[in-house]
Amino acid sequence: MSRRTSDDERPLGWIPELKAPSHTLWLPIADNRPLKELGRQAALNILGLGTPEDQMEKFARVIRDGTEASRRRGANMGGLIFFPDYNRLPPIATIEIHGAFPRGEPGTPGSLDYYREHLGTPDKTTVGPVEVADLQLPAGPAIRIHRRFWPKQIKWYPTSHLWEEVIFAVRPPEITDTVLVSISWVEFAFSEALINAADAIAPTLEIKLRDA
C-alpha cells in the first residue's frame, strides 16, 4: 500500500484505506503550504538530492498541477500513478477518493441510483458506450462505471484531452456517505492495464471510523 499522511486527505468522519499500485504518489491536498513548496518537497523526497534541476522542476510541476486539480474537483484524497517508475513523466493516471452526499432514497444525491443516472447515462460529454454494473465489494454494495468523456470546460483550465475513467460508487454500511473511488487517464495505450488495476484496487477499499 502506498504510504500517505494526514496532509494527503481532507478530513471526514472516516478514513479510507486502499491498496494502490507501487508507484502511486498521494498528493498533499490538505497541506496549506504554498504549492511551489509542496511540489519542490515532493520532488526532493522522490528523486533525491543530486537530481538535475530541470528534472526536479518538471516533477515538481506535475505535483503542483495534480494537487491543484484534485483540490478543484473536491477530492478527499488524490494521487498520481506513475509507470514504469517515477522517472517517466507524465504520470499515467489519477486516482481519487470522494466522500459524496449522505445516501438517501433511490434517485437522490448520495444513492447509487443517483450516480447510475448522472455518471452512467450517456450524454453529450461521453464518447462511445458507458458500461454500468452492480457489484458487491467487501466495503459494501457498489456500482462500477466505465466511460470516456470530455471534462467540463473551465475558463482558466482549458480541456484538451478526452478522458477515460473507471469509477466505483460504494455504500459502506458503517457510514452515511457514499464513497466514490475513481481512476482516470488520457493515454489510451494504458487502458487495458488501468482497467485491470481499477478492478484490483476497488475490492481493497476499507473504511475506518476516526473515533473508533
Q: What is the mean pLDDT of each run of 10 residues along the chain (212 residues)?
A: 46 86 94 96 96 97 96 93 96 94 68 91 95 98 97 63 96 92 97 98 94 66
pLDDT given for residue 176 in this prediction: 87
CA distances for 86 relative to 22, 58, 89, 162, 198, angstroms: 10, 11, 7, 24, 20
- Type of residue found at 136: Q
Q: What pTM was estimated for this model as a whole?
A: 0.89
Query: Are 92 and 190 a contacting pair, CB within 8 Å?
Result: yes
Phi-psi group of 140: left, alpha or beta (phi > 0 → left; psi -120 to 50 → alpha; rest → beta): left
Query: Are 148 and 157 a contacting pair, CB within 8 Å?
Result: no
**pLDDT per residue as tens digits for the range 123-177:** 999 999 999 999 999 999 999 999 999 987 665 455 578 999 999 999 999 998 8
- Domain locations in the chain as residue ranges: 6-209
pLDDT given for residue 10 in this prediction: 55
